[in-house]
Each structure stands twice: as C-alpha cells, then as structure tokens.
Amino acid sequence: MLIALLFLASGRNTEESDEISYSTFLQEIEDGTITAFQFDNTTYEITGTRTDDTSFTSTAFTDFSESDRSLFDRKGVDYKPETPTTNWLIGLIPLFLPFMIIIGFFWWMARRQQSQMGGIMSIGRSKAKTYSSERPGTTFADVAGYESVKKEITEVVDFLKNPGKFAEIGARIPKGVLLVGPPGTGKTLIARAVAGEAGVPFLSVTGSDFMEMFVGVGASRVRDLFNEARKMGRAIIFVDEIDSIGRKRGAGLGGGHDEREQTLNQMLSEMDGFEATEGIVMMAATNRPDILDSALLRPGRFDRQVVVPLPELDDRKEILKVHIKHKKVADDVEIDVIARGTPGMSGADLANLVNEAALYAVRNGEEKIHASHFDMARDRVIMGVKRDSLVMSEKEREMTAYHEAGHALCAALLPDYDPLHKVTIIPTGMALGVTMTLPEEDRHSLRRSHALDMIVMMLGGRNAESLVFGVVSSGAGDDLQKATQLARRMVSEWGMSEKVGPMAFGASGPVFLGDDMMQSREYSENTAELIDLETQRILTEQEERCHDLLSTNRTALNLIARNLLEHETLSGAEVNRLISVANGDLGSPAAGMPQTAASTSSTTPLSGN
C-alpha cells in the first residue's frame, strides 16, 4: 500500500505554473493568449497552457457564468470540465485497515502461544553444546605442563580415533574419566583440548543444566543427552561440575534431594547401558570428589580418576610461557625466577599474576613489563592491596614496627624456617603490617620441626610487643588463631604428640555433606580434654622459646624496628644485614637503606598484624 501511494503521488504533475487571478484569466482569453484549459468541477481550479507554452493556474470560486461561457465560445477556447474520482486502492485502505490490524493481532497471539508450547514441550531436551572436528578450538598444545595428565587423556582420544588398535589385543578403554583437582588447575581447559584433539563429536554440559523447577526434567535431559550421543556413533560427553548432581544420595538433613537423586539414578543407568563397542566415553570434572556417590565411582562408570594437581615448578614455567607469549616483556624478566617465586599457585593464579604485572606496567607508563612489575603483582596477589590512605598514630605505628620486627627476627633466625622475603609496616589488605617468607622449593609434606618453627614465627609479634611495651594488643589475633589451628592439627591429625599417640581425629565437617547427622565426633570427652591440653602445651612451649629468642637478640629487634619506622619496608637481605650489625659481625648500617628490594623467590606463609 505504501508503494502504491508513493507511485500515485509521484505521478502528479509537479511542473511549476503561474498563479493568476480570475480577471487576468478572462483578460488573457480575450487577448487570445489562452486557447484551452481544464476546469475542476469540485475545487473550481483552472489549469492550462498558454500559446507560449507557459503553464498557469487560477481559481473561479464558482461555476462559470453565462457571459463567461459566451466569451469562451466566441474566442473558440477549448475547455474541459472534469470531476475527479478517488483512486479505488486509496478508497479500500480505510475499509480493510481495521480488519488487517485484527488479523495481525490474532496471528501474533498464535505465534506467541506456539513458541510457549514449544518451550514447554522441549524443556526435557538436553542443553549440551556440540563441538565437532570442524570446530577445533583448544588443543593439547595449548595446555602447558601436566604431561602425565595429558598422557592418560590422550589414551581416550586415541581409542576414539583408532578403536581397532585397542581391540586387537583385547584392551578395554575406561567408560568414564573423572578429572579431580583444586579450582583453577585447568580441568575444563583439558576437556576443551580433548574436544579439539578427538576428531569426534564432543558434547559439553554443566551439572546445573540438568536441574529445573519441574520434577523429572533432569532425568529426561540425561536420557536425551545419551540418545543424542548414540546417534553420533563415537562421541565424548563432558559434564563440568558433576558434584552438583552426583552428591551422595540420602545424605544430610531431610534425606537428600529427590530431583537430584533421580537425575543421578538416570545417569548411572545410562552409563551401565554402554557397550564396549559403542565408542562413547564420559568425562567429568570436580573439585569435591569426597562428596560424590560411591555408585558413580565404581568400575564400569567413572572407573578412572585423573588427578589434576597444583602445578609443579616445571609446569609453572610452561604455564607462564603461555600467558606471557602475547605480551610485551622486557629482557630482565626471567621465567625461571617467577616460577620459583610462585609455589602453590594454580594456572588461574599465574594468569592473574601476569595480568596484574601488565596492569602495573601500564600504570607506570612503561611500554614493556619488567621484573619489578612481577614483584609488585606477586605482593598484591599474596598480601593484598596497600592502604596508603590509612593514617596511624605514632604510638600505634611504633607498636606495629616492633610487632613485624618480632616476626621478621624469628623468621630470619630459625634454622628450619623459610627464608625471609620482605617485611613492611605499610597497611596492606586487612593487616597493619605484613611479614612474608618464601620457600626455596616446593614442599609436599610438613616436618614436626618446621611446624614448631612456624608457631614460633607466628608468636613473634605478640612476644615482641610484650617484651618492649609490657602489653599485648589485638594485632596478634590472627597470629594466635593460625598458631592454635596448626598446633591442634599436629595433635589431632598428624600424630605429632607423644601423649595422644599415633591417632588421627579428623575435624567434623558440615552435616549436609556427611552420611549421618550423628557422626560429629569419634572420640571421648577424656580424649578431647587431652587434645586441648597437648595443644596448649605446644603453644606454651613455643611461646617460651620465642620469648627467649627475642630476648637474646633484643639489640637486633630494636635495630630492625627503627629501620622499619624510617623506611617502612625492608627486604630479607636488609634484615639479615641488620642482624649481623647487631651481633657485631659488620659495621653500622649505611644511612638511607633502600626502601625495598626485588625478590627472586616465591610465595607463601605470611604473618600480619
């Protein structure tokens, strides 16, 4: 209709014409200038062309009189009275427009109801995303380190690519592979690499996708997921965060969750229905294997568990190379040094560390990332953000300096403790000051002597305040909590107490994750009292040991505290130099010691005021 109206409008005569009065019009007829014209009986509009081919328009305001008509006849003027008619298409528009609006409204309502019904009917369908060989994405080359993990996963990929090679010697590939590890270690990344390497369809779904407000939807989606995989022949099904639907059945208050348990039951029956020749392998990832149902972990289902641990030194080097690859890095950055300085960090932590270093480089106006930026980024990740806006009184600042000096002195003098990295009285994170030590190598177990040294170091701040000021402050609250927790674990979990003996009394977890609500404690009241007494004895003995250590080195304590008040931050090397000066091994400390020193080692235990 719009096109027709535009067409009709464009067909009108748009030629410019002269507007003349009616008397002038009659005069020009008398003069013979006008020999023909058209007359509109409705609007009384006169239009025409003169003998010199110029157009004109005029208005009669009424019909022609008898004298006017006789003039036209006498001059032989050819005039055509016209009564214009409305275009039939334009006339139909007002008639059909309401009907068209009503029809359009009912059509829209029908489409809306159809989409809603379609959504309800498809609610039981699987929400899995399918990845085929035409969409490679991530490969094993993008997964740095974890060679043992990739080797086990590669066997699954090889089985799906070349099943005949395994069938020749009668080998049976595991039907389910469970990736277990702490958060951030790259379990989902490894699964994406399998999707890129497999060359077979890869179905990816999260555990929460099975749960819905309607009863039975989870089980229906599990059935649809496996039916879809069977239609593809050989395929891999990956369920991320499987602990959301695979928790122990009947555990916790109320007897469990019926909908989740029905979903788990359907998944168990589908995995049991597999045949060895079907070529369908199920993969899953979780960081809570302790709460998974035992039926899910038995042979024939998830019968192979692949542990994805925190990366070791060599793995951290490879991970850092991947994250540094596309960043502008200066020549003074050594990946080996950064890797040694980040024990206990996961792949996600290392990615965050590199990004924080890049942000520091941008803030400082640098064009490349330098080693100092990595040091600042590591301090921020481990200790927190510096609170420069916090203003402390001189008395509180002095007490904080002695508190941190006590921590630093104990860390530097204890023989089995990690090397001191940095001590500062700048408010950082939630603490007024921080003392940080860095291990020289990755540690996988904790000796009793090292645990006792850790307690001494934690109590160093409290004892320094008591030794110098004769009082203790609330700044040692976090230290006491950590020291008590460590001493209790030594007694109740690690068998490091002679009176308690080689017995382990694990801490009771939340009742919602356990098998029985009454399974809260497995020892008597006498044993509980003995554990408390042994914990108190360890803390008391180590506090006496810490007090003797600080009293013997009181000169070094005062020297470290004064330099902290002057420079606010000291490196481990500077603290060791001050201890040597206090013991008379070196001369007096040089004036204007640098505020901080670049670190080459790594992360970990810190003590804050």
Residues with catalytic annotation? Answer: 404
Question: Scanning the structure block, which residue is given the tokens 């009065």?
Answer: 21
The count of other CB atoms within 10 Å of the CB of residue 429 is 15
Q: At what angle do helices 394-413 and 460-469 cross, to 10 degrees?
A: 130
Q: What is the CB-side half-sphere exposure of residue 255 using CA atoms within 13 A? A: 2
Pairing of strands 569-571, 420-424: antiparallel
Identify whether the C-beta of residue 140 lies closer than 8 Å to the C-beta of residue 154: yes
Helix (H) or strand (E) holding 237: strand 235-240
Nearest to 204, CA basis, from 239, 230, 231:
239
The strand ranges marked E within 8-54 are 18-19, 36-40, 45-49
Phi-psi region of 259 (alpha: psi -120 to 50; beta: other; left: phi over 0): alpha
Nearest to 215, CA basis, from 266, 251, 252, 250:
266
- Helix or strand or coil: residue 276? coil
**Which tokens go with 221?**
């989606």
d(CA 388, CA 449): 38
d(CA 37, CA 44): 12
d(CA 361, CA 329): 10
Helical segments of 510-594, H only: 525-552, 554-567, 572-582
Helix (H) or strand (E) holding 606: strand 606-608
- Contacts for 352 with CB less than 8 Å, ≥ 6 apart: 381
* Angle, CA of 486, 488 and 489, to the nearest 5°: 65
The count of other CB atoms within 10 Å of the CB of residue 451 is 18
Let me know if 48 is exposed, middle or buried by CB neighbors in 10 A (0-12, 13-18, 19+): buried
DSSP 247: B
- Contacts for 540 with CB less than 8 Å, ≥ 6 apart: none
Identify whether the C-beta of residue 342 lies closer than 8 Å to the C-beta of residue 353: yes
d(CA 505, CA 492): 5
DSSP 343: T
**Which tokens go with 443?**
């540690």
Nearest to 245, CA basis, from 267, 223, 225:
267
d(CA 535, CA 530): 8
d(CA 28, CA 30): 5
